[in-house]
């Protein structure tokens, strides 16, 4: 059994008589194995890789949130001299942080909390990246351990259980023990158990938030020696002293809840308090009482054991006595302040306030530089017993913040890196929606879209009104930046409105061929993890709604008052239907959302739009899939807008009235046709919801179109232009038409 001791280190042992002194103290809880069995039970430090699934399927049922809480629990439970790495993956792999000492956990919390869901599931790639970190960072004498947290629904890279188990077995042969954590109720149990089996580790099921700490603790039992549990540090002021803050813990009255205490370890807690006294010079006064309460691991429900102590200060008149601050207190306070600044930096970056973020990171680094010289090779942030840290902790933290600084400044300079000397045409650094709003403000009453088959005509003003109303309703439904929104429509007015609404909210519009059915639709939605879907009841002879209901039978029992939960489409939460209101309870009505959006305040919408980075993705287009599964290509606001802008600069004189007969789900139709209204005063004429030669020629004639993009110009020429005597195909336009 280990001994448990607590000591209190004040920032300074003195206080001034007759004034309120703002004081600070560091509490160190140190656990040591008894000398007679210390060597027999001593564990090696751990080199731990955490592999976190952040794919789109993890968005359902708070699975990613559970997994992130598990990661944070691991950070809490590690010894301060353990090394930890975090790999996150969706359809690509991202090393979130590498070679971090566990004593820097305060800095790592906000990094973990900032992780969001992405696309597909490259499970094998995440595990492979984790294994490579062991090769990159060799720590002699450290145990190699990997935790894989996933729902196991692999659809990129190695996808079968046998393939992944074979790869994991090779990593285990190199000394890596791999534990797996199945996340959520719909995880692939065979896959996750297979990973643990091949990795010679343990399998755990993270069913809910309530079991996270218990299971993570159990997972680490084989390498940790728990000598106390349900530990709680309670601090009280004495003789008019008042405790004002316990860093990292919100409830001062309850103190610091520390969870488990592990043998041969040290925990540090920082406390702020005020003290005052009117006493003779040199009088020692007790100012703090503190108690460490904990239970023995084998008697969790019994009476807690208590280790207590007091802190006294000497009150003096000479101010020179209080000038020197204890380095351990100074360092711990600096790290805590830097951790709080890190949360603000993340918020600034998310809000696209990069200059402010850079300034705060610079302040953060300078703050740490001021105490770097105080940190020795054992790392005074949290000294471990009988072990040396490989490098000073402050130095490591500064290195991590400098990496963030370089990343942020390089992102800020990204706009200038676009410039080149090939053309004199400057780039436009805006989002699609910002550019469209500016054009709409200039020409509010100009007719911009004409949908012939729908018999709808939009001015810039009326379209903007519909776009804003739709965006406000989608925001009310809970759509966040980066969410994928699938559009399974033909060439309709709703298709255009959602393109600009997505840009306003920072969503990514996923364009899906309306001719896709069944498995094709399922593949496209799951490939990128779509959260929303917009569809019409039918597209010509295709019964779109019927197809979708067969794919998602849960829709008929679902209510729009809550998020959808689908077995086949786990990331899909909201389904919106165009046209008349359906009797199906699980469908949102597009028309109803527009009406609801008109009644909502647009203040938050405007704030959201202002925060969208032009470099953020705005659309995903799929390849045709004729030679395999469709491939998803992502385009940014900046990329699409400048394609349209450059095209308009060259072809604008011909594009004043542009007929667009080609499918909107192709990038060609969007860039060459549909989105021209984002940059200029023009008219887009949509002849039919699907390509139709006769409707196209009639629209050209009736609306006096000046140009039309088409992949079938030769066909039109043969059928219509080269047969002028056929009365059924006699079309003309007073304006020259350019293809």
**Structure confidence at residue 350 (pLDDT):** 63
Contact residues for 154 (Cβ-Cβ < 8 A; gap 6+): 121, 122, 123, 124, 164, 188, 191
Task: Find, among 494, 488, 461, the residue nearest to 594 by Cα.
Answer: 494
User: Residue 553 pLDDT more than 50?
Assistant: yes
Under a CB-based contact definition with an 8 Å cutoff, are residues 674 and 706 in contact?
no
Q: What share of the chain is helix, strand, coil (3-state, %, to 5)?
A: 40, 25, 35
Choice between 328 and 624, residue whose per-residue pLDDT is larger: 328
Which structure tokens are listed for 212? Answer: 């996270």
User: Residue 344 pLDDT more than 60?
Assistant: yes
Choice between 427 and 531, residue whose per-residue pLDDT is larger: 531
Question: Coil, helix or strand for 341?
Answer: helix
d(C-alpha 599, C-alpha 204), whole Å: 48
Q: What is the pLDDT of residues 212-270, one digit of tens each?
A: 666 776 666 655 555 777 789 999 999 999 999 999 787 899 898 776 676 777 888 99
For the ranges 15-19, 100-104, 528-532, 614-618, which has the lowest average pLDDT? 100-104
What is the share, in percent, of the chain residues with pLDDT greater than 70?
83
**Structure confidence at residue 396 (pLDDT):** 52
For the ranges 131-135, 301-305, 700-704, which has the lowest average pLDDT? 301-305
d(C-alpha 340, C-alpha 344), whole Å: 7
Question: Coil, helix or strand for 710?
Answer: coil
Taking phi first (over 0 means left), then psi (-120 to 50 degrees means alpha), and beta for anything else, what does residue 529 get?
A: left
User: Residue 203 pLDDT more than 90?
Assistant: no
Choice between 594 and 539, residue whose per-residue pLDDT is larger: 594
**Residues 654-673: what's their mean pLDDT?**
86
Beta strands in 132-199 (DSSP E): 143-150, 177-183
**Residues 645-672: what's their mean pLDDT?**
85
**Structure confidence at residue 703 (pLDDT):** 92
Choice between 79 and 431, residue whose per-residue pLDDT is larger: 431
pTM, two decimals, is 0.47
Q: How confident is residue 35, by pLDDT bands cut at 50, 70 and 90?
A: low
What are the residues facing 234 on neighbouring strands? Answer: 291
Please, how many CA atoms are within 13 Å of residue 706, restricted to the half-sphere of its CB? 11
- What rounded mean pLDDT belongs to the chain? 82
Question: Coil, helix or strand for 27?
Answer: strand
Which structure tokens are listed for 479? Answer: 């759509």
Which structure tokens are listed for 242? Answer: 């008042």
**Residues 412-426: what's their mean pLDDT?**
50
Which structure tokens are listed for 477? Answer: 């439904």
User: Residue 731 pLDDT more than 80?
Assistant: no
Edge-first strand order for the sheet with 632-636 is: 588-589, 574-577, 530-535, 484-488, 508-511, 617-622, 632-636
Per the document, the length of the chain is 739
d(C-alpha 26, C-alpha 21), whole Å: 16
**Structure confidence at residue 382 (pLDDT):** 35
**Residues 360-374: what's their mean pLDDT?**
79
User: Residue 283 pLDDT more than 70?
Assistant: yes
d(C-alpha 581, C-alpha 52), whole Å: 41
The answer to whether 45-224 and 432-729 have equal CATH topology is yes
User: Residue 201 pLDDT more than 80?
Assistant: no
Tell me the fold of 45-224.
Rossmann fold (3.40.50)
CATH 3.40.50.12780 fits 432-729, yes or no: yes
What are the φ and ψ backbone dihedral angles of 335, each rounded to 5 degrees? -65, -40
Q: How confident is residue 738, by pLDDT bands cut at 50, 70 and 90?
A: low
C-alpha separations of 411 from 198, 337, 420 in Å? 41, 25, 18
The DSSP secondary structure of 565-612, one letter per residue, reads --SSSTT--EEEE-SSPPS-TT-EEHHHHHHHHHHS--HHHHHHHHH-
Q: How confident is residue 336, by pLDDT bands cut at 50, 70 and 90?
A: confident
Measure CA 530 to chain center.
Answer: 15
Q: How confident is residue 584, by pLDDT bands cut at 50, 70 and 90?
A: confident
User: Residue 679 pLDDT more than 80?
Assistant: yes
d(C-alpha 100, C-alpha 103), whole Å: 8
Max avg pLDDT among 59-68, 367-376, 551-560, 625-634: 551-560
Map out the domains of the chain as residue ranges: 45-224, 226-324, 325-412, 432-729
* Residues 278-292: b if buried by 16+ CB within 10 A, e if exposed: eeeeeeebebbebbb
Under a CB-based contact definition with an 8 Å cutoff, are residues 432 and 499 in contact?
yes
Q: How confident is residue 733, by pLDDT bands cut at 50, 70 and 90?
A: very low
Q: What is the pLDDT of residues 105-140, one digit of tens each?
A: 888 888 898 888 888 889 999 999 999 999 999 888
Max avg pLDDT among 68-72, 122-126, 647-651: 122-126
Choice between 378 and 177, residue whose per-residue pLDDT is larger: 177
Beta strands in 411-511 (DSSP E): 447-451, 456-459, 484-488, 508-511
User: Residue 186 pLDDT more than 80?
Assistant: no
């Amino acid at each position: 059994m280990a001994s448990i001791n607590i000591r209190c280190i004040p920032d300074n042992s003195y206080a001034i008589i007759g004034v309120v002194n703002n004081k600070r103290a560091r509490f160190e809880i140190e656990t040591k194995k008894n000398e007679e069995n210390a060597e027999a039970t001593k564990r090696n430090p751990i080199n731990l890789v955490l592999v976190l699934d952040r794919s789109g399927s993890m968005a359902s049922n708070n699975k990613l949130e559970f997994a992130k809480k598990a990661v944070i629990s691991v950070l809490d439970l590690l010894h301060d001299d353990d090394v930890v790495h975090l790999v996150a993956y969706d359809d690509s792999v991202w090393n979130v942080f590498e070679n971090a000492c566990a004593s820097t956990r305060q800095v790592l919390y906000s990094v973990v909390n900032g992780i969001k869901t992405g696309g597909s599931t490259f499970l094998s790639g995440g595990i492979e990246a984790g294994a490579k970190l062991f090769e990159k960072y060799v720590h002699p004498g450290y145990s190699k351990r990997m935790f894989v947290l996933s729902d196991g629904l692999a659809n990129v890279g190695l996808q079968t259980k046998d393939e992944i188990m074979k790869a994991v077995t090779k990593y285990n042969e190199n000394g890596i023990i791999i534990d797996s954590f199945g996340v959520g109720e719909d995880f692939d149990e065979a896959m996750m158990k297979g990973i643990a089996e091949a990795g010679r580790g343990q399998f755990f099921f993270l069913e809910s938030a309530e079991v996270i700490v218990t299971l993570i603790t159990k997972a680490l039992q084989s390498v940790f020696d728990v000598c106390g549990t349900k530990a709680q540090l309670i601090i009280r002021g004495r003789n008019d002293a008042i405790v004002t803050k316990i860093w990292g813990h919100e409830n001062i009255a309850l103190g610091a809840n520390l969870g488990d205490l592990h043998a041969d370890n040290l925990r540090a807690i920082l406390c702020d308090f005020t003290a005052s006294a009117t006493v003779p010079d040199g009088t020692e006064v007790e100012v703090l009482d503190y108690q460490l309460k904990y239970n023995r691991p084998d008697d969790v429900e019994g009476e807690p054991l208590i280790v207590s102590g007091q802190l006294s200060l000497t009150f003096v008149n000479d101010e020179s006595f209080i000038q020197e601050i204890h380095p351990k207190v100074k360092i711990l306070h600096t790290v805590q302040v830097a951790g709080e600044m890190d949360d603000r930096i993340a918020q600034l970056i998310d809000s696209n306030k990069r200059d402010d973020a850079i300034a705060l990171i610079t302040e953060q680094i300078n703050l740490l530089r001021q105490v770097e010289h105080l940190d020795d090779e054992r790392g005074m942030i949290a000294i471990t017993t009988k072990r040396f840290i490989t490098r000073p902790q402050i130095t490591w933290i500064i290195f991590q913040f400098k990496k963030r600084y370089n990343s942020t400044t390089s992102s800020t300079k990204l706009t200038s890196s676009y410039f080149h000397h090939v053309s004199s045409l400057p780039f436009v650094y805006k989002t699609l929606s910002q550019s469209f709003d500016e054009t709409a403000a200039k020409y509010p009453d100009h007719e911009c879209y004409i949908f012939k088959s729908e018999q709808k005509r939009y001015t810039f003003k009326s379209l903007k009104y519909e776009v804003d109303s739709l965006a406000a309703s989608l925001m009310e439904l809970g759509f966040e930046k980066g969410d994928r929104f699938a559009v399974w429509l033909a060439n309709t007015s709703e298709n255009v409105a959602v393109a600009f609404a997505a840009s306003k909210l920072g969503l990514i519009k996923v364009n899906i061929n309306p001719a896709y059915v069944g498995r094709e639709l399922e593949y496209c939605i799951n490939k990128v993890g779509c959260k929303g879907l917009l569809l019409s009841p039918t597209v010509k002879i295709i019964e779109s709604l019927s197809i979708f209901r067969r794919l998602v039978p849960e829709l008929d029992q679902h209510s729009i008052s809550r998020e959808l939960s689908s077995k086949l489409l786990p990331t899909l939460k909201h389904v919106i239907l165009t046209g008349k209101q359906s009797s199906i309870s699980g469908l949102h009505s597009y028309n109803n959302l527009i009406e609801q959006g008109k009644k909502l305040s647009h203040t938050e919408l405007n704030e959201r739009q202002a925060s969208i980075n032009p470099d953020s993705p705005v659309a995903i287009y799929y390849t045709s899939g004729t030679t395999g599964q469709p491939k998803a290509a992502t385009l940014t606001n900046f990329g699409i807008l400048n394609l349209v802008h450059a095209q308009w600069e060259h072809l604008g004189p011909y594009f004043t009235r542009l007929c667009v007969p080609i499918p909107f789900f192709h990038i060609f139709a969007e860039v060459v046709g549909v989105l021209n209204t984002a940059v200029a005063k023009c008219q887009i004429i949509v002849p039919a919801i699907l390509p139709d030669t006769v409707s196209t020629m009639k629209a050209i004639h009736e609306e006096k179109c000046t140009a039309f993009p088409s992949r079938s110009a030769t066909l039109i020429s043969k059928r219509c232009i080269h047969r002028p005597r056929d009365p059924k195909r006699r079309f003309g336009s007073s304006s020259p038409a350019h293809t």
